[in-house]
């Protein structure tokens, strides 16, 4: 069994209550931090840990924190990004639903680290039932003196509020989220200025993913150096991988970064192999936006080395033969899967979720969906495939926010690796 | 400007709740409460947001009505026309599609005699297709109200609708 | 002051100036086109992506190139920045792609559109677009609506630049229209049949880069190139009263703000000047207005097309 940091106690009965959580050592890191450490110490430990953002971009968390203007007396905010909406990704929901206090503990430490006294948990509106679990946990934390004025008798005060969205994937993008939190349409902002300088209500703001901050208590309890020993190279620690599709055991797994993809798919500890004894055809390894890889390239890199679940190994080979760890949404497809139909559902998703603000994304995503619809109906031709590729290339890199790239990559990679499938005529039944 | 009595208004309890929500944001930033309060409005005013309901929220938050319309039409959880008593939302994105969501949608369309996006003539059911609900490990997924129904197949979905239908008869 | 180089031309501008405005200071061909940015409207820009340029050197201090093309209308210059606009094939190729996106759902109804001849999209397509269309999909369509008795909204033509929304927000006292829906379903609207009606609402016609918002008092009266523009003014209690009157013979067919070479009005005018003052006796005529814009029609491009064919 590999090390468990986030899932250590997730199966314990009643872990969602303050009492049980506390009995098992919960909130110890807050005591340690508030009594013996300065905010800078926390930032330093997190830097040492090598922890990288678990929302998809993989940006070093400690470094992100050091960008913010922490001048005392000036408002600044920490926002917990719980707007998990990337198809294939359901790890944050799992964590929030079953171990809500871990998130709050991580949030307290992180707010202390950047000296923020107000924090919002932006949770997707469909997850109202999870929000109620979080609200109950927050209430308990207030009642036990871990939130509110002068926490544990120190001069650090913190208020946390839950804020639901109302179904818009784009609000997972940092500035789309901020706009939404300000009661507006979730149109991402132009950058610069970046949120660390000018974010929520015009104040410096840090936005972190749920899983990222839930890791911080362990780092404070055990030290950043200890954390950095787990994992492989610059991919330190553990990562939640949410696995779905044609596998025997779909679910959320905490893996040590560096685990081989082959073991993850076939071992009984994880996915337990392909369903119904079928063969593996393709995997989308990091949420719907990352490039799809055929079986041979997801199991081994183009150089013939085993592919590992780490930031570096998954991106080995660039977008030619590699992909990305992304948010850890691991979608497995068996030999009978139509890659093109699956792609159509992704493209339809991005068309549906585009905010419509900038022209390449608004027009391009809709155009790609129309062409894919025609192809799926058997009415496509070679020129359509080239046109699709061209549209994707023209969207990529030219939009206000990364949604454009997210819509382009699945199309580009599906054509690159499965071009032949685009012209298969549908069976006439 | 003439002051007009709003045609709809929150109950005292909901009003209190919305005041509490508004207090979560700094002074003068009450617009931040818009999305949560629109959820309250939708729940209180029959499952959808009429122009009257949106104008009421505008008054409550001291915003221009257009600011509400812009937001309400952006977020797909808000229903802008009346729905059936029970809104069935079936996820159709990749992971659910891989596990057979398409068949479920087709079956429900046939069973209810409506297309996705429509409401049955008896006003009981509205069928909606939705994008990823972050429960891909238990796909296909159906959401009704706040509840997720997971690991669905045609038969289970059929039973679910049957039970709901019978429940409504009582 | 900071120094920036655009297409090999140096210019000194104040700190905080955007690349686009630095280019406008140089002037001429190297100025990136802008369909959504409007210097008089705070917050405008960044959306249409026609002004994307390449930054090959970020600044003296940090000479690294920027990894992607950037929107010149919203990216501030740094001292020592080096920018490529028309000297970059990549920029020009991308611009062509952006024009294609903007035209994807734009009806090609120029022959019956009142904006023809002074349409930014028409000029943009002529200068940067491809002569061939690659789409066979049906275009998005909307019902035409009258927003009040003076302004027609023809949503099919809208490119969602948001300028009219900013205008209503910033120069009128109440905004009743905005962008509704999401993604490719976005539309400018009032949601309920609301009348856009206040003293300055007519300016949304002037800021519209296409024929989505047009003046109903001018509708179908004449093609713009058959009218003669004159600078004129009157003592107006509401606005500066400085306008352009567009004449056919001695008849005023329409009144607009005075637009500069980038299609931006010098000053916003009130509705009374725009819609109600259509008699010569209302105005003191100054001089013929020289239209500075580089219009397709003013350069007789269409005559050449008629003569030699569109790809000639």
Write out pLDDT tens, residues B87-126: 999 999 999 999 999 999 999 999 999 999 999 999 999 9
Q: What share of chain C is helix, strand, coil (3-state, %, to 5)?
A: 25, 20, 55
Give the residue among C71, C93, C84 at the shortest CA–CA distance from A358. Answer: C71
Q: Is there a contact between A355 and C104 if contact means CB atoms under 8 Å apart?
A: no
Q: Cβ contacts (< 8 Å) between A246 and chain B: which residues?
A: 98
In a domain, C312, yes or no: no
d(CA A232, CA A235): 5
Residue ending a domain, choose from C168, C191, C215? C215
Structure tokens at A132: 């109620």
In a domain, C254, yes or no: yes
Q: Are residues B162 and B94 in the same domain?
A: yes
Count of domains observed in chain B: 2
Q: Is there a contact between C134 and A387 if contact means CB atoms under 8 Å apart?
A: yes
pLDDT digits (tens, 9 = 90+) for C108-149: 888 888 898 889 999 999 888 887 889 888 999 999 989 888
Q: Are residues B61 and B108 in the same domain?
A: no
Coil, helix or strand at residue C163: helix
pLDDT over 60 (residue C157) = yes
- B-facing residues of A in 78-107 (CB < 8 A) are 84-90, 92-93
Q: Round to the nearest angstrom and report the end-to-end CA distance of chain B.
A: 48
Residue B139 Cα, gap to closest chain C Cα (Å) = 26
Chains that touch A (3 or more CB pairs under 8 A): B, C
In a domain, B1, yes or no: no
- Chain B / chain C CB contacts < 8 angstroms: 31
Cα-flanking dihedrals φ and ψ of residue C162, to 5°?
Answer: 70, 0
Residue A181 Cα, gap to closest chain B Cα (Å) = 6
Residue B5 pLDDT: 55
pLDDT band at C299 (very low <50, low <70, confident <90, very high): low
Residue C191 pLDDT: 85
> Cα separations (Å) of A226 from A34, A121, A236, A253, B17?
21, 29, 10, 21, 45
pLDDT digits (tens, 9 = 90+) for B131-146: 999 999 999 999 999 9
pLDDT over 80 (residue B20) = yes
Residue ending a domain, choose from B74, B97, B116? B74
Structure tokens at B82: 């009346």
Q: Are residues B55 and B106 in the same domain?
A: no
Q: Are residues B46 and B94 in the same domain?
A: no
Chain A residue nearest residue C94, CA to CA: A394
Q: Is there a contact between A360 and C101 if contact means CB atoms under 8 Å apart?
A: yes
Average pLDDT over residues C169-184: 93
Residue C199 Cα, gap to closest chain A Cα (Å) = 27
- The radius of gyration computed from the CA coordinates of chain A, to the nearest angstrom, equals 22
Chain B residue nearest residue A248, CA to CA: B137
Q: Is there a contact between A398 and C182 if contact means CB atoms under 8 Å apart?
A: no
Q: Is there a contact between B95 and A169 if contact means CB atoms under 8 Å apart?
A: no
pLDDT band at B169 (very low <50, low <70, confident <90, very high): low
Q: Are residues C19 and C107 in the same domain?
A: no
Q: Are residues B92 and B69 in the same domain?
A: no
Q: Are residues B97 and B62 in the same domain?
A: no
Q: What is the mean pLDDT of chain C?
A: 91
Residue B31 belongs to what domain range?
12-74
Q: Is there a contact between C183 and A360 if contact means CB atoms under 8 Å apart?
A: no
Q: Are residues C123 and C175 in the same domain?
A: yes
In a domain, B56, yes or no: yes
Residue ending a domain, choose from C188, C215, C242? C215
Residue A51 pLDDT: 97
pLDDT band at B19 (very low <50, low <70, confident <90, very high): very high
Three-state secondary structure string covering chain A: CCCCCCCCCCCCCCCCCHHHHHHCCCCHHHHHHHHHCCHHHHHHHHHHHCCECCCCCCCEHHHHHHCCCCCCCCCCEEEEEECCCCCCCCHHHHHHHHCHHHHHHHHHHHHHHCCCCEEEEEECHHHHHHHHHHHHHHHHHHHCCCCECCHHHCCCCEEEEEEECCCCHHHHCHHHHHHHHCCCCCCCCCCCCCCCCCCHHHCCEEEEEHHHHHCHHHHHHHCHHHHHHCEECCEECEEEEEEEECECCCEEEEEECCCEHHHHHHCCCCCCCEHHHCCEEEEECCCCCCCEEEHHHHHECCCCCECECCHHHHHCCHHHHCCCCCCCEEEEEECCCCHHHHHHHHHHHHHHHCCCCCHHHHHHHHHHHHHHHHHHCCCCCHHHHHHHHHHHHHHCCCCCCCHHHHHHHHHHHHHHHHHHHHHCCCCCC
DSSP line for C20-41 = HHHHHHH-GGGSPP-SS--TTS
In a domain, B120, yes or no: yes
In a domain, B62, yes or no: yes
In a domain, C148, yes or no: yes
User: Is A65 within 8 Å of chain B by CB?
Assistant: no
Q: Are residues B112 and B70 in the same domain?
A: no
pLDDT over 50 (residue B2) = no
Average pLDDT over residues C293-312: 49
For residue B59, the domain's CATH number is 1.10.10
Q: Cβ contacts (< 8 Å) between B97 and chain A: which residues?
A: 341-342, 345
Residue C30 belongs to what domain range?
2-97
In a domain, B6, yes or no: no
pLDDT over 90 (residue B3) = no
In a domain, C310, yes or no: no
d(CA A358, CA A173): 15
For residue C64, the domain's CATH number is 3.10.20.740
Spell out the residues 6+ positions from residue C93 whose beta carbon is closer than 8 angstroms to its own. Answer: none
In a domain, B5, yes or no: no
Residue ending a domain, choose from B41, B74, B107? B74
d(CA A49, CA A237): 8
- A-facing residues of B in 64-83 (CB < 8 A) are 67, 70-71, 74-78
Q: Which helix (H) or strand (E) holds B112?
A: helix B101-112
Nearest CB neighbour to A245, from listed B34, B95, B134: B95
Q: Are A366 and A351 in contact (CB under 8 A)?
A: yes
Q: Are residues B69 and B90 in the same domain?
A: no
Q: Is there a contact between C160 and A357 if contact means CB atoms under 8 Å apart?
A: yes
Residue ending a domain, choose from C52, C74, C97? C97
In a domain, B107, yes or no: yes
Residue C295 pLDDT: 58
Paired strand residues for A300: A306
Q: Is there a contact between C137 and A370 if contact means CB atoms under 8 Å apart?
A: yes
Total H helices, total E strands in chain B: 7, 4
In a domain, B128, yes or no: yes
User: Is B126 within 8 Å of chain A by CB?
Assistant: no
Residue C312 pLDDT: 30
Q: Are residues B67 and B92 in the same domain?
A: no
For residue B97, the domain's CATH number is 3.40.30.10
Q: What is the mean pLDDT of chain B?
A: 94
Interface residue of B17, B76, B116, B137 to substitute, partner A, most A CBs within 10 Å: B137
pLDDT digits (tens, 9 = 90+) for C214-266: 999 998 788 888 889 999 999 999 999 999 999 998 999 999 999 998 999 99
d(CA B23, CA A192): 30
pLDDT band at C297 (very low <50, low <70, confident <90, very high): low
Interface residue of B66, B76, B81 to substitute, partner C, most C CBs within 10 Å: B66
| Proportion of chain C above pLDDT 70, given as a percent | 93
Q: Are residues B141 and B118 in the same domain?
A: yes
Paired strand residues for B88: B127, B144
d(CA B140, CA B98): 8
For residue C143, the domain's CATH number is 3.30.70.20
Nearest CB neighbour to A356, from listed C104, C134, C183: C183
Q: Round to the nearest angstrom and report the end-to-end CA distance of chain C.
A: 46
Q: Give the distance, in angstroms, between the CA of residue A265 and the centroid of all CA atoms in the same chain.
A: 20
User: Is A125 within 8 Å of chain B by CB?
Assistant: yes
Average pLDDT over residues C17-28: 97
d(CA C51, CA C29): 13
Residue C297 Cα, gap to closest chain A Cα (Å) = 26
- The radius of gyration computed from the CA coordinates of chain B, to the nearest angstrom, equals 18
Q: Is there a contact between A358 and C47 if contact means CB atoms under 8 Å apart?
A: yes
Q: Are residues B42 and B92 in the same domain?
A: no
Residue B1 pLDDT: 40
Average pLDDT over residues C98-103: 96
Count of domains observed in chain C: 3
Chain B residue nearest residue C190, CA to CA: B66
Interface residue of B66, B94, B103, B141 to substitute, partner A, most A CBs within 10 Å: B94
Residue B81 pLDDT: 95
Residues of chain A with pLDDT under 50: 429
């Amino acid at each position: 069994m590999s090390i468990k940091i986030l899932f250590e106690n997730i199966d314990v009965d009643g872990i969602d209550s303050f009492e049980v959580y506390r009995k098992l050592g919960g909130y110890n890191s807050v005591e340690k931090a508030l009594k013996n450490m300065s905010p800078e110490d926390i930032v330093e430990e997190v830097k040492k840990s090598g922890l990288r953002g678990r929302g998809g971009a993989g940006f070093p968390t400690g470094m992100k924190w050091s960008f913010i203007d922490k001048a005392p007396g000036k408002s600044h905010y920490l926002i917990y990004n719980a707007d998990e909406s990337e198809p294939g990704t359901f790890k944050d929901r799992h964590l929030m639903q079953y171990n809500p206090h871990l998130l709050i503990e991580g949030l307290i430490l992180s707010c202390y680290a950047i000296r923020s006294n107000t924090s919002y948990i932006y949770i997707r509106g469909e997850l109202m039932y999870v929000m109620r679990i979080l609200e109950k946990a927050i209430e308990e934390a207030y009642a036990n003196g871990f939130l509110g004025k002068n926490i544990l008798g120190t001069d650090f005060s913190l208020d946390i509020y839950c804020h639901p969205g109302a179904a818009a994937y784009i609000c997972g993008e940092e500035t789309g989220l901020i706009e939404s939190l300000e009661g507006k349409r979730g149109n991402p902002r132009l950058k610069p200025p970046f949120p660390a300088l000018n974010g929520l209500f015009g104040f410096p703001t840090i936005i972190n993913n749920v899983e990222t901050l839930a890791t911080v208590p362990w780092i404070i309890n055990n030290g950043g150096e200890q954390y950095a020993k787990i994992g492989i190279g610059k991919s330190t620690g553990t990562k939640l991988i949410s696995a779905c599709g044609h596998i025997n055991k779909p679910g959320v797994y905490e893996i040590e970064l560096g685990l081989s993809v082959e073991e993850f798919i076939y071992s009984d500890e994880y996915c337990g192999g392909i369903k119904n004894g079928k063969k593996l055809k393709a995997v989308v390894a990091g949420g719907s936006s990352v490039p799809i890889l055929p079986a041979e390239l997801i199991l081994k890199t183009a150089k013939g080395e085993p592919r590992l679940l780490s930031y570096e190994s998954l991106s080995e080979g660039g977008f030619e033969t590699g992909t990305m760890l992304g948010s850890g949404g691991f979608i497995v497809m068996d030999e009978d899967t139509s890659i093109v139909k699956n792609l159509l559902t992704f493209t339809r998703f991005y068309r549906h979720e585009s905010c419509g603000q900038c022209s390449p994304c608004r027009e391009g995503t809709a155009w790609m969906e129309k062409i894919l619809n025609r192809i799926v109906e058997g009415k496509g031709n070679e020129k359509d495939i080239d046109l699709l590729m061209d549209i994707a290339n023209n969207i990529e890199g030219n939009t206000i926010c990364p949604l454009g790239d997210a819509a382009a990559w699945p199309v580009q990679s599906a054509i690159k690796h499965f071009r032949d499938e685009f012209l298969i005529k549908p069976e006439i039944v | 400007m003439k002051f007009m009595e709003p045609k709809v208004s929150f109950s005292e309890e909901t009003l209190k709740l919305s005041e509490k929500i508004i207090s979560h944001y700094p002074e003068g930033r009450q617009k931040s409460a818009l999305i949560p309060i629109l959820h309250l409005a939708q729940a209180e005013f029959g499952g959808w947001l009429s122009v009257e309901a949106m104008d009421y929220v505008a008054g409550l938050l001291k915003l221009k009505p257009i600011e509400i319309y812009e937001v309400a039409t952006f977020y797909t959880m808000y229903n802008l026309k009346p729905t059936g008593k029970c809104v069935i939302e079936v996820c159709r994105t990749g992971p659910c599609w891989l596990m057979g969501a398409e068949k479920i949608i087709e079956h429900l369309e046939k069973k209810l005699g409506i297309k996705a996006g429509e409401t049955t003539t008896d006003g009981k059911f509205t069928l909606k297709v939705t994008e990823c609900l972050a429960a891909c490990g238990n796909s296909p997924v159906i959401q009704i109200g706040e509840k997720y129904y997971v690991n669905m197949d045609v038969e289970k979905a059929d039973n679910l609708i049957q039970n709901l239908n019978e429940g409504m008869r009582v | 002051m900071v120094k920036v180089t655009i297409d090999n031309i140096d210019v000194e501008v104040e700190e905080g100036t955007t690349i686009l405005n630095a280019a406008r200071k140089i002037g001429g061909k190297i100025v990136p086109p802008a369909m959504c940015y409007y210097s008089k409207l705070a917050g405008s820009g960044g959306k249409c992506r026609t002004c994307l340029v390449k930054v090959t050197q970020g600044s003296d201090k940090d000479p690294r190139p920027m990894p992607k093309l950037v929107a010149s209308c919203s990216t501030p210059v740094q001292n020592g920045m080096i920018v490529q606009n028309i000297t970059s094939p990549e920029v020009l190729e991308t611009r062509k792609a952006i024009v294609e996106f903007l035209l994807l759902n734009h009806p090609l109804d120029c022959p019956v559109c009142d904006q023809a001849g002074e349409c930014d999209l028409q000029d943009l397509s002529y200068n940067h677009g491809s002569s061939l269309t690659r789409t066979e999909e049906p275009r998005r369509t909307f019902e035409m609506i009258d927003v009040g008795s003076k302004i027609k909204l023809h949503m099919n033509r809208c490119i969602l630049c948001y300028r009219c929304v900013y205008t209503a927000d910033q120069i009128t006292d109440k905004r009743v229209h905005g962008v509704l829906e999401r993604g490719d379903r976005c539309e400018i609207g009032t949601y309920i049949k609301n009348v856009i009606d206040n003293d300055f609402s007519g300016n949304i016609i002037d800021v519209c880069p296409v024929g989505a918002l047009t003046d109903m008092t001018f509708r179908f009266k004449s093609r713009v190139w058959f009218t003669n523009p004159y600078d004129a003014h009157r003592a107006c209690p509401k606005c500066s009263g400085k306008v352009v009157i567009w004449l056919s013979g001695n008849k005023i067919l329409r009144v607009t703000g005075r637009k500069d070479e980038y299609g931006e009005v010098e000053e916003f005018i009130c509705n009374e000047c725009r819609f109600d003052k259509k008699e010569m006796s209302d105005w003191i005529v100054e001089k013929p207005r020289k239209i500075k814009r580089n219009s397709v029609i003013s350069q007789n491009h269409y005559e050449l097309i008629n003569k030699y064919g569109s790809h000639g």
